[in-house]
């Protein structure tokens, strides 16, 4: 990773589209909606993880659109698993690779193990398997496509849906303002497992996403990446705004991009001046019903959370104390 100079000298590096790899591992012909931010994220993540990888993918939008049965859009060895056991299957693959390497049946470096899932498959249904796999310390990377609702079954709310958003199971009206709870902080849950690498990413910043995935793949031990992917269908936004909305989410600090390496927070994309959160909410039809008091509440809440994150980034020490484990040298018996 050092040769890319990522996170050390971001200021002086040249990122150009033309320097990125041209090979596509997520091919054309998948059935995602027009302007799907998730498909863009998958495309860049698949480029970043490279050729040698095994993917376990939870049920969800990306599974539905990419693998209509006699056809598949994936170039990797790919296994579709149920909502609740994505991380369990990934840890099984990792254990199998270890056994194969021990028996000498695996030539060369073992392939990378990647698990992917939507926000429902990650923060609602698959949380126990993910928590177990991260706690056991399997060498795998979990990537969560966060489009903030169950889009594939018709926009039902998930625990990742932001406050005030309209979904079919949290409809706004006289008694309700849409989703009544704040978005679950899945990144903080992953950080609390004390795993080596946790990051948030967004396909509107493809180079940031690309190098974060590269870093996560090369890091031994579990890694977790939370990718905000704009969904024009579910967010009720124009299809051509997908990339711009992701950028607005970062610039308004609704979804700040940061990484947590061994408990140390580091902001990777820093907005010089935060934009008002209204800029982000206005193009989306799912926030259309919000009035001034709710907008003001969201603005204050997001500012407070961002201040907290900046405070964490300023900490000279990590979230967890890490002391190298060195067993005491054995005493020689005289």
Q: Which residues does 178 contact at the CB level (< 8 Å), separation at least 6?
A: 163, 164, 165, 166, 167, 170, 171, 172, 286, 287, 289, 290
User: Is residue 23 close enough to count as binding another protein by CB under 8 A?
Assistant: no
Least distance from another protein to the Cβ atom of residue 320, Å? 36
CA distance readout (Å), 42 to 32, 286, 331 = 11, 24, 53
Number of residues near another protein (by CB under 8 A) = 40
Residues 219-238 that bind another protein (CB under 8 A): 232, 238
User: Is residue 242 close enough to count as binding another protein by CB under 8 A?
Assistant: yes
Least distance from another protein to the Cβ atom of residue 280, Å? 16
Residues 244-263 that bind another protein (CB under 8 A): 244
Least distance from another protein to the Cβ atom of residue 189, Å? 28
First to last CA, the chain: 48
Contact code string over 24-53 relative to another protein, x by CB under 8 A: x--xxxxxx-xxxx-xx--x----------
User: Is residue 70 close enough to count as binding another protein by CB under 8 A?
Assistant: yes
User: Is residue 13 close enough to count as binding another protein by CB under 8 A?
Assistant: no
Residue-wise burial string across 85-122, b where 16 or more C-beta atoms lie within 10 A, e elsewhere: bbbbbbbbbbeebeeeeeeeeeeeebbbbbbbbbbbbb
Tell which one of 8, 13, 20, 21 touches another protein (CB under 8 A): 20
Least distance from another protein to the Cβ atom of residue 18, Å? 5
* Angle CA 111–115–118, to nearest 5: 155
User: Is residue 57 close enough to count as binding another protein by CB under 8 A?
Assistant: no
Tell which one of 71, 168, 180, 181 touches another protein (CB under 8 A): 71
Q: What is the CA radius of gyration of the chain?
A: 20
- Reference 145, options 262, 239, 66, 252; nearest CA is 66
Tell which one of 6, 55, 62, 74 touches another protein (CB under 8 A): 74
| Bridge-based pairing state of the strands 78-81 and 53-58 | parallel
- If the CB atoms of residues 35 and 126 are measured against another protein, the closer one turns out to be 35
Residues lying near another protein in the complex (CB under 8 A) are found at 16-18, 20, 22, 24, 27-32, 34-37, 39-40, 43, 66-76, 80, 206, 232, 238-244
């Amino acid at each position: 990773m050092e040769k890319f100079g990522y996170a050390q000298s971001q200021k002086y590096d040249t990122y150009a589209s033309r320097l990125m790899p041209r090979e596509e591992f997520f091919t054309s012909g998948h059935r995602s909606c027009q302007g799907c931010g998730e498909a863009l994220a998958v495309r860049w993540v698949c480029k970043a993880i490279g050729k040698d990888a095994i993917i376990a993918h939870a049920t969800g939008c990306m599974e539905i659109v990419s693998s209509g049965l006699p056809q598949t859009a994936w170039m990797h060895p790919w296994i579709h698993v149920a909502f609740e056991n994505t991380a369990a299957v990934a840890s099984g693959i990792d254990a199998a690779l270890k056994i194969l390497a021990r028996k000498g049946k695996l030539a060369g470096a073992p392939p990378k193990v990647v698990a992917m899932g939507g926000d429902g498959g990650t923060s609602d249904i698959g949380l126990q398997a993910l928590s177990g796999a991260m706690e056991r310390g399997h060498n795998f990377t979990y990537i969560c496509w966060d489009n903030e609702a169950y889009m594939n079954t018709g926009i039902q709310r998930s625990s990742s849906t932001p406050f005030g958003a309209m979904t079919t199971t949290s409809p706004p009206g006289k008694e309700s303002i849409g989703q009544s709870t704040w978005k679950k902080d899945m990144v903080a849950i992953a950080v609390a497992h004390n795993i080596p690498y946790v990051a948030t990413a967004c396909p509107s910043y493809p180079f940031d996403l690309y190098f974060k995935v590269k870093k996560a793949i090369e890091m031994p031990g579990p890694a977790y990446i939370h990718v905000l992917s704009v969904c024009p269908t579910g967010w009720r936004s124009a299809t051509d705004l997908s990339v711009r909305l992701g950028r607005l989410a970062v610039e308004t600090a609704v979804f700040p991009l940061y990484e947590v390496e061994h408990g140390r927070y580091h902001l990777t994309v820093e907005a010089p001046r935060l934009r008002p959160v209204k800029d982000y909410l206005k193009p989306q039809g799912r926030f259309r019903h919000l009035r001034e008091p709710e907008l003001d509440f969201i603005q204050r809440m997001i500012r407070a959370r961002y201040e907290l994150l900046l405070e964490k980034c300023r900490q000279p020490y990590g979230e967890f104390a890490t002391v190298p484990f060195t067993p005491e040298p054995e005493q020689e018996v005289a």
